[in-house]
Structure 1
């Protein structure tokens, strides 16, 4: 996409993500209520087949310019160790206990591998990680914002279905409907914020989005368990709008400042910070549920 339309394009991507988010809780509630839980996993098979066909059919093939540079296999291996250890520790922290020997050992391995990765990458001509790009404040700051925003959102999104299903008279299907308040506003705000960020500063929308998510979390932290259902839906919608105002402008902001030769790597880092934020948010949400 042309640089001046990049924010709009990323807004459309956010809408696609939000539509998936809207469909997921509704479909999950419908399947859980009408069929067995095994269908929650089997339903992905035909979707994956159709998506694969669409990718082969509609994504245009074009000649790429390949550079004969050696792959930094040591850096790639250390990176896998770091990410794998962190994900494993965050996923099983609630099961094993955050102070258990297993969790401490896993995070110690991640820390040692991270230090080794950074020392190794600094001395490589073609490092696996885009060190030079990550040294740009706009890029590194944007990635931190990406991770933080998904931590904030997923902390609530993971806990909310458990809380709603515990209320009397609320079926799984109704829980799915209530949960769509978040992606519905995300689907609306994403393209708007993306389009406007092409004309105005992305920082304004990122600031407003983070403020909206912060207010939503503050309301939940003060009145969670006492809020009426309507207020829960409104706060979920506020957080969805906040995420819509953060995601598209922030991604556009990062890509605008990323060096051309590292655009692919930085795009992967955006996806990494998004998924890492979701895992961390889920871990925090389930931990808060366990201790409540």
Structure 2
């Protein structure tokens, strides 16, 4: 048996909760931003190093693959090291590797530094939710989870906007170099304020076999989805990667069910109040990401907006999330209604279908109404859902809850983006069109985008059903 140190959260930790939050939230934002901010800089990086895009895209893929594969691993490691030391070490690695990325003399060095940056990001992201959850008293945890939800939403959507501004004004290097001064300040603050007693499992073993199987499964899935979204056809490499994913995932389940000290205790998925919020979160991000993927094509190709104007449109949702998610968390803390997250997902579903119809009839006011509803629904859903997910497991498993939540959230970004692109390209292929999206005739482009968003709405409806099932 593993003997855990007894945890008692002193009043001093609660008094410092907002200082702790001021350290944790910027770290989450930076980790999310660096997963999306490079998309807009990729053409510039490709030209700068004079390489093929097939090589330069590894600047994005390497980060995404590494951070997705290691979130659960570092969640497990935190049981031995403690969450605070792991967080500080991870943030130091993330900041130092950001400097190295900005100074990289060639593409291989840049890719290597991106992998190291993702390692630091995984160390931070895997346990940041658990740190914030424990820093707040039980009656305020819904609000704390609301702050995390709004931060992730802002990072996911603000990345391309910030990336475009930095690349056009200062150069691609500054999408990484901007992390350095911010990281230095946050790192100093973390050394000063991140202090709390923790449970540690001094004799906990490490599941190397399970770790290997998990990394193989996550890597093959990310690569498979990336290739599938590019071609929308079942090529031999895609089939091979899918086979590796299935075999690796099956091996992971077998290994974890037999391991004495598993990387992931599969028994947690027998707990309905943990599994269904995870499923609901996964479906929410997959469905809602169709808007993020196809929206820019619609605004530029149909409405004739500039990229800057598109970026301003996509700020509507995160602004509402920043304001609404903490309010939603406060309401949940006050009333603890088990139907808040379900109501939020139903609003999101209505928003998605409103958005799809508005796109079909080319009504900007109706599109704005859909975006506003999407922000309100997201704010109402995420705070209660995250709180219930984190509260479903015993306190000694809080690290597992945090790392699983981070993995699901990060993986759903990838699944959502790939699914949106796949829907788009598949519809064009069925229509016999193989040109550039922005060059497609409006009679084709408009219904294709509307159908893609509507399918996202169906997925959000499934998320609402999963949320409702948790309460019956």
CA RMSD of aligned residues (A): 2.1
CA distance in structure 1 between the aligned counterparts of 2:158 and 2:250, rounded to whole angstroms: 41
The residue aligned with 1:185 is 320
SS in 1 for 2:339: helix
The residue aligned with 1:252 is 387
CA distance in structure 2 between the aligned counterparts of 1:157 and 1:4, rounded to whole angstroms: 34
The residue aligned with 2:457 is none
CA distance in structure 1 between the aligned counterparts of 2:344 and 2:174, rounded to whole angstroms: 34
By how many angstroms is 1:244 displaced?
Answer: 1.3
The residue aligned with 2:177 is 46
The residue aligned with 2:293 is 158
By how many angstroms is 1:172 displaced?
Answer: 1.4
Which of residues 223, 235, 249 is equivalent to 1:100?
A: 235
Q: In 2 relative to 1, CA 232–222 (structure 1 residues): closer, same or farther, beyond 3 Å?
A: closer
Deviates more, 1:41-50 or 1:255-264: 41-50
Deviates more, 1:72-81 or 1:234-243: 234-243
CA distance in structure 1 between the aligned counterparts of 2:201 and 2:337, rounded to whole angstroms: 33
Greater relative contact order (CA < 8 Å, ≥ 6 in sequence): 1
Q: Deviations over 1:201-251 (max 9, x none)?
A: 353111111111111222234442323112212211211221111111111
The residue aligned with 1:109 is 244
* Contact 1:25/1:177, CA 8 A, preserved across alignment: no
By how many angstroms is 1:63 displaced?
Answer: 6.2
* Contact 1:11/1:191, CA 8 A, preserved across alignment: yes
Which of residues 108, 127, 146 is equivalent to 1:11?
A: 146
SS in 2 for 1:224: helix
Deviates more, 1:214-223 or 1:131-140: 214-223
CA distance in structure 2 between the aligned counterparts of 1:165 and 1:245, rounded to whole angstroms: 30
* Contact 1:133/1:258, CA 8 A, preserved across alignment: yes
Q: Which has the larger radius of gyration?
A: 2
Q: In 2 relative to 1, CA 19–168 (structure 1 residues): closer, same or farther, beyond 3 Å?
A: closer
CA distance in structure 2 between the aligned counterparts of 1:144 and 1:269, rounded to whole angstroms: 11
By how many angstroms is 1:44 displaced?
Answer: 2.2
SS in 1 for 2:178: helix
SS in 2 for 1:203: coil
CA distance in structure 1 between the aligned counterparts of 2:337 and 2:403, rounded to whole angstroms: 21
Unaligned runs of 5+ in 2: 1-135, 428-447, 449-472
CA distance in structure 1 between the aligned counterparts of 2:140 and 2:272, rounded to whole angstroms: 23
SS in 2 for 1:225: helix
* Contact 1:9/1:194, CA 8 A, preserved across alignment: yes
CA distance in structure 2 between the aligned counterparts of 1:110 and 1:15, rounded to whole angstroms: 32
The residue aligned with 1:176 is 311
Q: In 2 relative to 1, CA 22–265 (structure 1 residues): closer, same or farther, beyond 3 Å?
A: same
Scaled by the length of structure 1, what TM-score is found?
A: 0.90
* Contact 1:216/1:239, CA 8 A, preserved across alignment: yes
Q: Kindly tell me the number of residue pairs found equivalent between the two proteins.
A: 288
CA distance in structure 1 between the aligned counterparts of 2:424 and 2:386, rounded to whole angstroms: 31
By how many angstroms is 1:132 displaced?
Answer: 2.1
Unaligned runs of 5+ in 1: none
Q: In 2 relative to 1, CA 267–104 (structure 1 residues): closer, same or farther, beyond 3 Å?
A: same
Q: In 2 relative to 1, CA 198–168 (structure 1 residues): closer, same or farther, beyond 3 Å?
A: closer
Asked if 1:71 corresponds to 2:202, the answer is: no
CA distance in structure 2 between the aligned counterparts of 1:181 and 1:2, rounded to whole angstroms: 31
CA distance in structure 1 between the aligned counterparts of 2:368 and 2:304, rounded to whole angstroms: 17
Q: Deviations over 1:110-142 (max 9, x none)?
A: 111111111111111211012222221111111
Which of residues 260, 273, 291 is equivalent to 2:408?
A: 273
CA distance in structure 2 between the aligned counterparts of 1:196 and 1:88, rounded to whole angstroms: 41
Which of residues 74, 80, 84 is equivalent to 2:219?
A: 84
